[in-house]
């Protein structure tokens, strides 16, 4: 499939940033999965690295592929994190959290010396907002929090936000690895991602939001025959 080729080519380009002896943040999602698989091949050939997974899903994948993992409690330095994105704009700003791992992803990204984002061309956008913005919230009082999230979006000039609780196929709320709920906020356009990020961070009950501002230093967009690299 064309999309998978592009994702894999982005992951191949990201491997150029990996060096022997690194502690690596391992992202979550379909594109990050390609990176984990490529990394496993290099580990099998003698590359010495340790991984810090951003989700239980990625932990299982890395363990199945024989990548040595380091408990997050023992982390002293994360040299490089490679992760995907649901959207990436021309300033290196991201929307993440489609896989419900945004809290752990942001903790690891923020602790890293260098974050590399890998994506296919459909994720490279001029302005963030078409992909619904995930906001992780506590279960307690989540309906109150949802109303305050709506107000915060409106207050940061998102014209017509629609805030809904993410649910599984069984109709039950999706619960994150941290035991929280996810609100998916349909925004269409987020005119000022920084202002929206600040507004959401001030809402009690919001554990974390999916706007990653100032964290990605490199964005790699895969193509059918290679990849384009953008530095920020």
Known catalytic residues are 105
Instruction: Report the C-alpha gap between 224 and 57 in whole angstroms.
Output: 27
Other CB atoms within 10 Å distance of the CB of residue 17: 17
Q: Cα torsion at 104, 107, 108, 114 (round to 10°)?
A: 140
Other CB atoms within 10 Å distance of the CB of residue 198: 14
Query: Greatest CA span in the chain, whole angstroms?
Result: 53
Side by side, the strands of the sheet bearing 87-88 are: 87-88, 94-95, 211-212
Residue 71 makes CB contacts below 8 A (sequence gap 6+) with none
% helix / strand / coil in the chain, to the nearest 5? 35, 25, 40
Instruction: Report the C-alpha gap between 41 and 133 in whole angstroms.
Output: 34
Q: Is residue 185 within 8 Å of residue 153, measured between CB atoms?
A: yes
50-53 and 23-26: which strand pairing?
A: parallel
């Amino acid at each position: 499939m064309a999309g998978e080729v592009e994702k894999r080519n982005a992951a191949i380009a990201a491997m150029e940033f990996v060096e022997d002896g690194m502690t690596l943040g391992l992202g979550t999602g379909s594109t990050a999965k390609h990176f984990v698989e490529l990394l496993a091949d290099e580990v099998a050939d003698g590359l010495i690295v340790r991984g810090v997974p951003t989700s239980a899903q990625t932990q299982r994948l890395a363990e199945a592929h024989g990548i040595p993992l380091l408990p997050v409690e023992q982390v002293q330095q994360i040299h490089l994190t490679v992760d995907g994105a649901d959207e990436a704009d021309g300033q290196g700003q991201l929307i993440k959290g489609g896989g419900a791992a945004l809290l752990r992803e942001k903790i690891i990204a923020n602790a890293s010396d260098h974050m590399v984002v890998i994506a296919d061309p459909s994720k490279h956008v001029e302005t963030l907002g078409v992909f619904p913005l995930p906001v992780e919230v506590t279960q307690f009082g989540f309906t109150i929090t949802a109303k305050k999230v709506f107000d915060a979006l409106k207050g940061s000039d998102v014209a017509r936000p629609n805030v809904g609780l993410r649910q599984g196929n069984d109709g039950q709320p999706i619960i994150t690895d941290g035991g929280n709920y996810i609100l998916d906020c349909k925004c269409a356009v987020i005119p000022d991602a920084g202002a929206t990020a600040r507004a959401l961070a001030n809402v009690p009950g919001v554990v974390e939001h999916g706007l990653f501002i100032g964290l990605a230093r490199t964005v790699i967009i895969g193509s059918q025959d290679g990849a384009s690299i953008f530095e920020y």
